[in-house]
Amino acid sequence: MKRIKKTDLIADIVERCPGAAKILTEHDLHCSNCFMSQIETLEMGAELHGMTEKELENLVKEINAKLAKKNDKK
């Protein structure tokens, strides 16, 4: 399983892990529906929305946990 990184494009993250859109929204990042998701990395979106580095690290961990759970079901 390829894990997501903070340098991945938001659109790519949501495509690989559809549950990521809900997680992003729960963290007040409504980026998955934004046209910028095609060119903006998770790190860029988090920075623009005032997230700390620690918050971003936790967000990446949460999405990767969701992705791992999804892959376990296959």
Domain-embedded: residue 4: no
Number of domains within the chain: 1
Please check whether residue 18 is in contact with residue 72, taking contact to mean a CB–CB distance below 8 angstroms: no
Q: What pLDDT does 2 receive?
A: 87
The CATH number of the domain holding residue 37 is: 1.10.3910
Assess if residue 74 is contained within a domain: no
CB within 8 A of 48, min separation 6: which ones? Answer: 40
**Domain assignment of residue 57, yes or no:** yes
Q: Per-residue pLDDT for 74 more than 70?
A: no
Each residue's pLDDT tens digit, 19-67 = 999 999 999 998 778 888 999 999 999 999 999 999 999 999 999 999 9
Q: Which domain holds residue 48?
A: 10-67
**pLDDT band per the 50, 70, 90 thresholds, residue 15:** very high
pTM exceeds cut of 0.85: yes
